[in-house]
Structure 1
């Protein structure tokens, strides 16, 4: 259970969540057991279950942390920049993450690969995050260009997904550069992308 807005999370909950975030991202969700989380966070099993109903609840809290961090990035960039520059700033942030040490791709794409059942709460959390991301990019593009915004936003999301996957396999600098050029191409295009393309 997440803490209420006016409550600070307990130090034990924070340790559990930070431990889980690192372990799930580095080694995969299914391969990391509760025993490892408890040992590395230096808490008891009872403490873990006081804060989280089970592993799935911990996974959902991990994904929510990643989602909230991305929302914060968008909010901070949008407060300072024009819509097109906000998209550029997001592109630079994505490119930077691809080149960061320990990069292992998109936390959400990794999670959905491990939870393929569309009815599972983790799968649903991934879909909700991706819909929010697509809606956010669509809104920014609608304010910054004349071409159909939803089509261009889907292209942006596909560019990002491809870059996140390729960044694990190929030269991250080259992948980041290619991704940023693709983002700039989307922003420079006007009515050249037909609806439904």
Structure 2
């Protein structure tokens, strides 16, 4: 991540680009591919496997999505939209300050209940290291969005400049670390240390007393 001066923090992140509604056939292909890409890995799952599992021909898959890269990108974009909506709803339901800043940690319990193989975006970044790959860009933007959210919420809590950016980085590290630990040791217990660490960091900055 490129370092920025204290006065150039940009807490606003671009929203994900929503794709047009899918036909029932394309919906079935994408749902099948999403499960396979997450459980088996992107590079280990070929279009033959997706087509067979979706009970379609490869020609149909290519007619609907054009390429495997486009299918992978659609999988990650849709997942990104669901994640952002879940976090945004949790943030908006809470009072400003500590409750809102802990919201991204709180939603991990429900999110990871059906996503035990770690973070799909981290997995994708590892499997698709080329920054020019469209799916890589989707995964990278998800991480940038989370950091930007923390920056914005910290700003609402009174933190400014470099301190705000540094604390946002620390919160992201705790959040991502929780996902890694959960993939090794699934269950809510793997998530609690990250939330507790975030709470300690935030209270040390005078944010929240609860």
TM-score, normalised via structure 2 length: 0.80
Q: Equivalent residue for 2:190?
A: 175
**Pair 1:162-2:177 in alignment:** yes
How far did residue 3 of structure 1 move? 4.5
Instruction: State the match for 2:37 in structure 1.
Output: 24
Question: Do the aligned partners of residues 101 and 74 (structure 1) sit closer, same or farther apart at CA in structure 2, a change above 3 Å counting?
Answer: closer
Cα deviation, residue 179, structure 1: 1.3
How does 1:40-59 map onto structure 2 within 5 Å?
40-59=53-72
The residue aligned with 1:129 is: 142
Question: 1:155: how far off?
Answer: 0.7
Q: In 2 relative to 1, CA 184–125 (structure 1 residues): closer, same or farther, beyond 3 Å?
A: same
8 Å Cα contact 2:116/2:186 also seen in 1: no
Larger RCO of the pair (alpha carbons < 8 Å, separation 6+): 2
**Which one of the candidate residues 94, 117, 121 is aligned to 2:130?**
117
Give the 3-state SS of the residue equivalent to 2:191 in structure 1. Answer: helix
Pairwise CA distance, 1:142? 1.5
Partner Cα distance (1:46, 1:101) in 2: 31
Correspondent of 1:87 among 101, 110, 133: 101
Give the match for residue 190 of structure 1: 205
- The answer to whether 1:77 aligns with 2:90 is yes
- Cα 1:52–1:135 shift into 2, 3 Å: same
| 179-188 or 141-150, larger mean C-alpha shift | 141-150
User: In the TM superposition, what is the alpha-carbon distance from 1:48 to its structure 2 partner?
Assistant: 1.2
Inter-CA distance 154–3: structure 2 relative to 1 (3 Å threshold): closer
* Contact 2:90-2:107 at 8 Å conserved across structures: no
Question: 8 Å contact 2:87–2:104 — kept in the other structure?
Answer: yes
CA contact (8 A) 1:12 1:43 kept: no
Unaligned runs of 5+ residues in structure 1 are 193-197
1:167: how far off? 1.2
Kindly report structure 1 stretches of 4+ aligned residues shifted beyond 6 Å.
Answer: none
Q: Does 1:152 align with 2:155?
A: no
How many matched pairs?
187
Question: Do the aligned partners of residues 177 and 15 (structure 1) sit closer, same or farther apart at CA in structure 2, a change above 3 Å counting?
Answer: same
Calculate the aligned-residue CA RMSD, in Å: 2.2
TM-score, normalized by length of structure 1? 0.85
